[in-house]
Amino acid sequence: MRAFIAIVLREIDERKALLAAAAVASVLPLLAPFLPATGSNPASDIREAVTWVMVGSLVPVFALLLGVSFIGRDLAEGRMGFYYAQPLSGSTIWLGKLAAVIVLVLGAEILIMFPTALLSPDFFHFLAPRDVLGPFEPRWSAALVLWLAPLLIILLSHALGLIWRGRSAWLLVDFGGLILVIAGTWLAIRPFLPITAPGAALAAASWMVAWMLVGLIVSGAVQVTSGRVDLGRGHRVLSATLWSVLVAAAATVLAWSLWIRAAAPNDLTRVASVTAGSGDWIAVSGTSPGRLDYHPRFLFNVSDGRWVAIDPAIRWWGPDLVFSADGSTAVWPATESAGEWTVNVARLDVSQPQPRKLGVVAVGRRWDDLSVSPDGSRIAVVDGRSVAAYESGAGDQITAAVIEGEFHPIYASFWSEDRILILASTSSRSDTSQRWRRYLLDLESKTLSEDAELPHPWRWKDRGRVSQSGRYLDRIDVEGDDRLVVVDASTRDVATDLGPMPYWSRISETEGGLIAIARDREGDHHIDVFTSGGELLRQIGLDKAQQILFGGELKPGQLVVGLWTWNDEERTNFEKLRTSVVDLNSGKVGPTLEGVAPVLGPWMHGSSAGAWKAGATAGRLLLGEDGSLGLLAPDSSRVEQLIPSTD
């Protein structure tokens, strides 16, 4: 220990001019507020800004110069023999000299920050800065970079300096090792970028940084111990050790990345999201131990268990997977870069679906910027003010249209196989002066026609679920009052006004189209059943719940109903789920199943347009309190668990 301390003190004494330079630099932020042209900015802000500029510019330079010189220059100038002439081990020499330069660099960093930190109301802000690297990074990451980056620069510059001074044939080994490490690391991290699984990407990068530090420290120690004063030999042992460690680390993180992406449905322990079509195929994603924030997603056939892995869901923003109304096609985006994705498609009416990437790149942020025609042959992509239509088979663009003028944003959906309905508004939905205009894009003639300006604000993307009777429910705003109306799908005119807007309602697929409205706001929990003409037919009482939500229909008139109880006022977490099957024709309520609720809505667990047809598999899907996914039996008295599998 005494020898180690002696080496540290000797190295610091030889380079103490660096600390003097840092002390001088620390005074500059204090003088900065007195400079002209600083405007009315607070003096504390000016001092902090200049301090970070000084730290960001000087500390890396200090670390670079010390890293290159603390071993390499002594070897090149023949001064390392002095240390080996003493009763010192190679590891003591390496650790002593390394510790000295680390103390010098971190000491210089602290010296530069210290005067400004003393005058700051938050002294520890400088020791542990937060929110520097963006909202998706851990709060400790900026502090880690601040104090770890100088060490990494020292070690890297030492290794590069020694390799450059050696100039032997081992340079080829260095080049090959560098290529392998970069390629392996990139292949491991790239599938998680930019927003697919930032936690997994950060974990992989952190793994490589940690092993880079280990490799550089160990290889430096081996170089000093085995290479001694021989520069060429030192280069050989450093390269052999360093690249052995880093290539092994890159291979490990690549294998881990491949394992993460090789998940199967049986690996899911909790379902995170479900999207269902009108057939037996669903899209399901969830969590799996060891896979961090990477949520594997699959196309899964609930009738026979067939599945195929697809791209993970885009989170935070962007379009989601959609099924065609006939259940034959699934279309979804895969991230290419932040805010950009390539459209993918899979035909589901084959023995084994094969996802294909189309040459279509969409740019947008809304979950409904992607839609598919009823037969799955065409897709529409909204990009700002434009709507483009493509063939889902080859990916060829059919046509595109731009909505000019004041009407923006826009929403688009297929009205038929060859016509796209475009709805555009003048402002946000919360604005009472909002105006809406309807357009039709004809794919056969490739013409855009301005159809009408609507008298009331239609829902996003005309999202009413069209019943077999050709009608759907929607919301209108009448002098600030939200009202529920029945809309004729062919004319888009209001057929019946049903009064104030409830939270949940739907048109049944019964003959004549009964209308069911959930009432759960005034202590009474029941369903109002109306005729298609708006006449109240009956009220069906339900068990008490804080919220009543509708699923699909097992068959016409048999509605799956979820009863939710929340455990906080904000309704962000539920503590109790129940499901019943309600017969709208007779008013009979079936047995209550505890711990499960229907797969619902476009937010947490969504269903595409075709899923609401009576008898669709989506109407039988139930989500468990434990995150499991099950299928309601036709007799509505039991649940078959699908994921996680109970086999």
Task: Please report the pLDDT score of residue 416 as a whole number.
Answer: 82
Task: Please report the pLDDT score of residue 16 as a whole number.
Answer: 84
Q: Which residue has the tokens 């840092």?
A: 22
Which residues neighbour 392 within 8 Å (Cβ) at sequence distance 6 or greater?
A: 329, 331, 345, 358, 372, 373, 376, 377, 378, 379
- Residues 426, 536: Cα–Cα separation, whole Å: 36
Note the pTM of the prediction, 2 decimals.
0.77
Task: Please report the pLDDT score of residue 142 as a whole number.
Answer: 63
Confidence of residue 214 (pLDDT cuts 50, 70, 90): very high
Interstrand relation of 515-519 and 526-530 (parallel, antiparallel or unpaired)? antiparallel
Rounded (10°) CA dihedral 251, 257, 259, 264: -160
- Answer yes or no: is pLDDT of 159 > 90: no
Report whether 457 contacts 487 (CB < 8 A). Answer: no
Q: How far is CA 262 from CA 202, 310, 338, 486, 529, in A?
A: 19, 11, 24, 47, 48
What confidence tens digit (pLDDT) does each residue in 238-251 have?
888 999 999 999 99
Q: Which helix (H) or strand (E) holds 64?
A: helix 43-69
| Averaged pLDDT for residues 135-148 | 61
- Residues 19, 14: Cα–Cα separation, whole Å: 11
Phi, psi of 136 (to 5 degrees): -95, 0
441 - beta bridge partners? 420, 448
| Averaged pLDDT for residues 369-393 | 88
> Which is nearest to 531 in space by CA: 600, 584, 581, 588?
584
- Residues 161, 153: Cα–Cα separation, whole Å: 12
Task: Please report the pLDDT score of residue 456 as a whole number.
Answer: 55
| Averaged pLDDT for residues 566-595 | 79
Least confident stretch, 356-360, 502-506, 577-581? 502-506
Q: Which helix (H) or strand (E) holds 423?
A: strand 419-425
Burial of 67 (0-12, 13-18, 19+ CB in 10 A): buried
Report whether 3 contacts 88 (CB < 8 A). Answer: yes
The side-by-side arrangement of strands in the sheet containing 471-478 is 471-478, 481-488, 494-500
Confidence of residue 254 (pLDDT cuts 50, 70, 90): very high
Go through the chain and tell me how many residues it has.
647
Task: Please report the pLDDT score of residue 137 as a whole number.
Answer: 47
Q: How far is CA 99 from CA 216, 245, 519, 636, in A?
A: 14, 22, 71, 71
| Averaged pLDDT for residues 638-647 | 80
Q: State the DSSP code for 591.
A: P
Task: Please report the pLDDT score of residue 229 as a whole number.
Answer: 65
- Residues 120, 240: Cα–Cα separation, whole Å: 48
453 - beta bridge partners? 437
> Which is nearest to 146 in space by CA: 38, 55, 23, 220?
55
Higher per-residue pLDDT: 141 or 211: 211
- Answer yes or no: is pLDDT of 492 > 80: no
- Answer yes or no: is pLDDT of 458 > 90: no
Task: Please report the pLDDT score of residue 183 as a whole number.
Answer: 95
Which residues neighbour 409 within 8 Å (Cβ) at sequence distance 6 or greater?
A: 366, 424, 425
- Residues 625, 345: Cα–Cα separation, whole Å: 32
Task: Please report the pLDDT score of residue 567 as a whole number.
Answer: 63
Work out the angle between the directed axes of helices 43-69 and 141-166 (0-180°, nearest 10): 30
Give DSSP secondary structure letters for 117-138: HHHSS-GGGTTS--SSS-TTS-
- Residues 506, 559: Cα–Cα separation, whole Å: 10
What confidence tens digit (pLDDT) does each residue in 346-376 have?
999 899 999 998 877 766 666 668 888 988 9
Report whether 507 contacts 486 (CB < 8 A). Answer: yes
- Residues 159, 155: Cα–Cα separation, whole Å: 6
- Answer yes or no: is pLDDT of 474 > 50: yes
Higher per-residue pLDDT: 585 or 334: 585
R_g over Cα of the chain: 33
Task: Please report the pLDDT score of residue 77 as a whole number.
Answer: 65
Report whether 238 contacts 219 (CB < 8 A). Answer: yes
Task: Please report the pLDDT score of residue 338 as a whole number.
Answer: 60
- Residues 232, 404: Cα–Cα separation, whole Å: 69
| Averaged pLDDT for residues 448-475 | 62
| Averaged pLDDT for residues 468-491 | 72
| Averaged pLDDT for residues 329-349 | 82
374 token code pair: 């009823």
- Residues 629, 274: Cα–Cα separation, whole Å: 9
Least confident stretch, 38-47, 175-184, 250-259, 417-426? 38-47
Count of CB atoms within 10 A of residue 275's CB? 26
Handedness of CA 543, 606, 374, 350 (dihedral sign): negative
Count of CB atoms within 10 A of residue 402's CB? 12
- Answer yes or no: is pLDDT of 612 > 80: no
216 token code pair: 């550089």
Number of helices (H), then strands (E), belonging to the chain: the values are 10, 32
Give the burial string for 40-61 (b: 16+ CB within 10 Å, else e). Answer: eeeeeebbbebbbebbeebbee
Task: Please report the pLDDT score of residue 479 as a whole number.
Answer: 66
Task: Please report the pLDDT score of residue 250 as a whole number.
Answer: 96
| Averaged pLDDT for residues 611-639 | 83
Give DSSP secondary structure letters for 516-579: EEEE-SSS--EEEEE-TTS-EEEEEE----SEEEEEEEEETTEEEEEEEEESSTT--SEEEEEE
What confidence tens digit (pLDDT) does each residue in 63-122 have?
888 888 777 776 766 666 666 667 777 778 878 888 888 889 888 888 888 888 888 776
- Residues 282, 299: Cα–Cα separation, whole Å: 6
- Answer yes or no: is pLDDT of 461 > 70: no
Confidence of residue 237 (pLDDT cuts 50, 70, 90): confident
Higher per-residue pLDDT: 41 or 631: 631
Rounded (10°) CA dihedral 602, 605, 610, 614: -120
Burial of 581 (0-12, 13-18, 19+ CB in 10 A): buried
- Answer yes or no: is pLDDT of 132 > 50: no
Task: Please report the pLDDT score of residue 316 as a whole number.
Answer: 54
475 - beta bridge partners? 484
- Residues 84, 91: Cα–Cα separation, whole Å: 11
- pLDDT averaged over the chain? 80
Task: Please report the pLDDT score of residue 315 as a whole number.
Answer: 59
| Averaged pLDDT for residues 186-203 | 87
Percent pLDDT > 90 in the chain is: 18
Report whether 258 contacts 266 (CB < 8 A). Answer: no
Confidence of residue 195 (pLDDT cuts 50, 70, 90): confident
313 token code pair: 């869901």
- Residues 618, 610: Cα–Cα separation, whole Å: 9
Give the burial string for 300-323 (b: 16+ CB within 10 Å, else e). Answer: bbbeeebbbebbbbbbeebbbbbb
Higher per-residue pLDDT: 292 or 91: 292
| Averaged pLDDT for residues 201-219 | 91
Higher per-residue pLDDT: 558 or 425: 558
| Averaged pLDDT for residues 503-530 | 76
